[in-house]
């Protein structure tokens, strides 16, 4: 029991809590993968996950939680329907909690007389109405603690020689029921206030998730900072303006960006995670961010598909591609190779319900057609490289020459 409350028992909330998002219209497709999202997430990251799941605003979707969630939360969420917005706020508040607050919150959820997603959210805002005692996990231990410290007024009126005759388990059960206490995996949690704030009405969330609102966020630390001392840094949202630059430098106690280094990079799209750590030049990151911020939503969607198509792996390449979008064709409608394979066969008049197609490899067929046409299916849609002007002119010249011959 002691080890459970030591370092080995600590909950690691530094890792993101993940959820898979699936468009209902593609959920029956066995090769459809949906889009994974790390929570908490700002609207840019949510939008990117929806794009990868091929979801449009207002369309129905399914959720499936992945790794990173505390065990006591998993068991609760399994019982109730919840929206992505509710999960996002929950992850946002959990990520900010101290170890003790997490212990209290587990107790709050167990102590709720009525549990639903509305109360799960409200519990986040009522932690101060509960107290937590680590390591106390049975009525007998509550009784011993109560008797030894005369914690209940009734005990103060009893002669001291009566104490050894008391049933500690019954005393503990009496105290637990009186306090509306519950045992958790780590200890004992009980109410210290009868009040309860109904912050969430089940419709309008009490607050928005304010975290990394841009495509790129850089965590800056003074040069020479050791990995274990990264708490001294500050986040810079890109592209930055002069005011945000001044504020970040003030927070760091530095005169210019030349005196700091990039310790972490947060990106709204997982696609760009492979760029992190390869180029630690703030100006280059900012230049790329400025390019992307000037794009329309449609252009940005195509850009991300093109970047994946080209296996973009450097800041330089990512920046160059922003000026080359007209060299690519993009079809956001295509979702899986198998679907495309089926569509092609149906267009040729094939009866896909026939016996001959029962074991047919539609995905392999779709991939083969893609390969023949130079296309590739990315997480955002199908991409192919359009022939450049010189290439087109060369082909036209060859055709004319053949015609003359």
Residue 139 is encoded by which pair of tokens? 């009525």
Which residues in 324-344 are b (16+ Cβ under 10 Å) and which e? eeeebebebebbbbbbbbbee
Residue 63 is encoded by which pair of tokens? 């959720």
Q: Which helix (H) or strand (E) holds 251?
A: helix 242-252
- Predicted local confidence at residue 4, as pLDDT: 38
Residue 395 is encoded by which pair of tokens? 């082909």
Q: What is the pTM of this model?
A: 0.81
Residue 367 is encoded by which pair of tokens? 């991939």
Residue 29: band (very low, low, confident or very high) from pLDDT cuts 50, 70, 90? confident
- Predicted local confidence at residue 295, as pLDDT: 96
Return the SS3 of 124: coil
194 dihedral zone (left: phi>0; alpha: psi -120 to 50; beta): alpha
Residue 15: C-alpha distances to residues 8, 11, 92, 103, 151 (Å)? 16, 10, 12, 18, 40
Which residues in 170-201 are b (16+ Cβ under 10 Å) and which e? ebbbbbbeebebbbbebbbbbbeeeeeeeebe
- Predicted local confidence at residue 158, as pLDDT: 58
Q: Are 270 and 312 in contact (CB under 8 A)?
A: no
What tens digit of pLDDT does each residue of 326-345 get? 999 999 998 999 888 988 89
What tens digit of pLDDT does each residue of 348-393 get? 999 988 988 888 999 999 899 898 888 999 999 999 998 644 443 3
CA dist., res. 101 & res. 164, Å (int): 35
What tens digit of pLDDT does each residue of 143-183 get? 887 766 656 655 556 556 555 547 788 888 888 888 888 99
What tens digit of pLDDT does each residue of 74-119 get? 988 988 889 999 999 999 999 999 999 999 999 999 988 777 899 9
> Measured on CA atoms in the order 339, 343, 345, 349, is the torsion positive or negative?
positive
CATH numbers and ranges of domains, the chain:
216-294 (3.10.20.480), 330-404 (no CATH)
What's the average model confidence in pLDDT over 128-157? Answer: 78
Q: Is 285 exposed, middle or buried (0-12, 13-18, 19+ CB in 10 A)?
A: buried
> Measured on CA atoms in the order 247, 252, 258, 264, is the torsion positive or negative?
negative
CA dist., res. 212 & res. 269, Å (int): 12
- Cα(first)–Cα(last) distance of the chain, in Å? 90
What tens digit of pLDDT does each residue of 226-259 get? 876 777 899 999 999 999 999 999 999 999 999 9
């Amino acid at each position: 029991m002691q080890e459970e409350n030591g370092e080995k028992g600590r909950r690691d909330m530094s890792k993101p809590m993940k959820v898979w998002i699936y468009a209902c219209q593609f959920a029956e497709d066995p090769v459809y993968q949906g889009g994974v999202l790390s929570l908490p997430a700002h609207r840019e990251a949510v939008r990117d996950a929806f794009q990868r799941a091929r979801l449009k605003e207002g369309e129905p979707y399914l959720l499936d939680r992945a790794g990173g969630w505390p065990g006591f939360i998993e068991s609760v969420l399994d019982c109730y329907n919840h929206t992505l917005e509710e999960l996002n706020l929950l992850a946002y508040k959990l990520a900010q909690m101290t170890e003790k607050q997490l212990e209290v919150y587990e107790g709050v959820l167990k102590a709720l007389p009525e549990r639903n997603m509305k109360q799960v959210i409200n519990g986040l805002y009522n932690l101060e109405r509960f107290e937590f005692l680590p390591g106390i996990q049975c009525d007998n231990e509550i009784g011993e603690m109560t008797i030894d410290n005369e914690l209940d007024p009734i005990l103060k009126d009893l002669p001291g020689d009566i104490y050894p005759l008391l049933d500690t388990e019954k005393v503990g059960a009496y105290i637990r029921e009186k306090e509306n206490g519950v045992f958790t995996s780590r200890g004992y949690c009980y109410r210290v206030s009868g009040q309860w704030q109904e912050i969430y009405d089940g419709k309008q969330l009490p607050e928005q998730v304010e975290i990394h609102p841009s495509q790129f966020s850089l965590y800056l630390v003074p040069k020479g900072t050791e990995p274990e001392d990264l708490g001294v840094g500050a986040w810079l949202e890109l592209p930055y303006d002069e005011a945000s630059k001044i504020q970040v430098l003030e927070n760091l106690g530095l005169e210019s960006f030349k005196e700091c280094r990039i310790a972490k990079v947060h990106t709204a799209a997982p696609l760009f995670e492979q760029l992190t750590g390869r180029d630690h030049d703030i100006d280059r990151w900012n230049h790329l961010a400025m390019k992307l911020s000037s794009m329309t939503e449609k252009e940005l969607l195509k850009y991300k598909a093109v970047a994946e198509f080209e296996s973009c792996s450097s800041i330089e390449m990512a920046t160059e591609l922003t000026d080359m979008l007209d060299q690519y064709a993009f079809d956001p409608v295509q979702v899986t190779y198998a679907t495309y394979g089926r569509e092609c066969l149906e267009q040729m008049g094939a009866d896909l319900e026939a016996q001959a197609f029962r074991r047919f490899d539609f995905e392999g067929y779709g991939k083969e057609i893609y390969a023949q046409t130079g296309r590739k299916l990315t997480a955002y849609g199908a991409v192919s490289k359009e022939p450049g002007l010189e290439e087109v002119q060369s082909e036209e010249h060859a055709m004319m020459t053949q015609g003359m011959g």
